[in-house]
Amino acid sequence: MLAISDKIKQLIELAADAKNNLIISNPSKIAEKLAQLDADGVSALHVITDFDMTLTRYWTNGVRSRSSHGVLEHASNVDDKCKTALTDLYKKYYPIEISHTIPFEEKVEAMKTWWTTAHSIIVGMGLTRQDIKDMVQSSPVAFRPKLKEFVDLCHARNIPVLIFSAGLADVLQEIMNSAQLMRDNMDIVSNKMRFKDDVAIAFEDPLIHTFNKNEATVSGTDHHTKIGDRHNVILMGDSLGDLRMADKVHTHVKLTIGFLNHDQDLFLDQYAKAFDIVVLNDSSLEYVIQLITNLS
């Protein structure tokens, strides 16, 4: 077993201190993971992260923040009929997505129905690329604090970052571009629209929803090339389903960081068991930044 250095001990102490809005349920196990990540160095590391409510905030002034789908639902250039239809889908299916009692297989089928129906509505809008730019400007998302610092750190240390989302790739790309947050070490895999004569006419396969994300989807892409033989991963997400994002990838060390943004009384035990480190109360990316900064 690797020796645990002082800097790793300090990272564990930070995660174990409740005032930092962090939970670490197995400090000795996580210390070993961090020590191995440090020993292997950042040249062996890549990051897989969800987008909505992971790189963005869950709450904005006490109100639920917008997801990439929500950008469309609230944009000024979307008619009320489409907005109502998308909102009704959210009200019906989101409680199923976050339920801790509904069987997983039942959730999967519900998500397929939700995403397929929502995509049909979106295609029916006849969106152009300019429409998407206008939507992002009129209906902005709220980024999680210190996102730019996280992005710049990963870029400076040459760590590939995959944003893996069940949202809308074209919207995510515009959100990140308009905020000047995309870097050449980053890629987005999400539900991508197919355009004809500059009008969205369909979504490309495969359909990506909350519970079927895994990195096999990026096989053969530019991001897959960037990963190369990097065998360690930091995985970040706000849903238990996000833990599947690295299922199809051979990893030596996988450090998982979960963002529990709501209903701590219902989900804290589940998240603490499932994720190595849990970030509470919609907190910033400060701990992730400190962790990566301290790796050799």
Cα(27)–Cα(30) distance, integer angstroms: 5
- What count of other Cβ atoms lies within 10 Å of the Cβ of residue 154? 24
52 is catalytic: yes
Is the Cβ–Cβ distance between 86 and 73 less than 8 Å? Answer: yes
Q: What are phi and psi of 235, to 5 degrees?
A: -110, 130
Question: Which amino acid does the sequence have at 274?
Answer: A
Cα(220)–Cα(190) distance, integer angstroms: 15
Q: Is 158 left (phi over 0), alpha (psi -120 to 50) or beta?
A: left
Cα(55)–Cα(146) distance, integer angstroms: 9
Tokens in use for 101? 């009692």
50 is catalytic: yes
17, 38, 40, 50: which is the annotated catalytic residue? 50
Cα(60)–Cα(57) distance, integer angstroms: 7
Cα(264)–Cα(100) distance, integer angstroms: 12
Q: Which long-range contacts (CB under 8 A, 24 or more apart) does 254-258 make?
A: 255/30, 255/33, 255/34, 255/37, 257/287, 257/288
In which residue are the tokens 């690295």 written? 246
38, 52, 187, 238: which is the annotated catalytic residue? 52
Instruction: Point out the residues that are catalytic.
Output: 50, 52
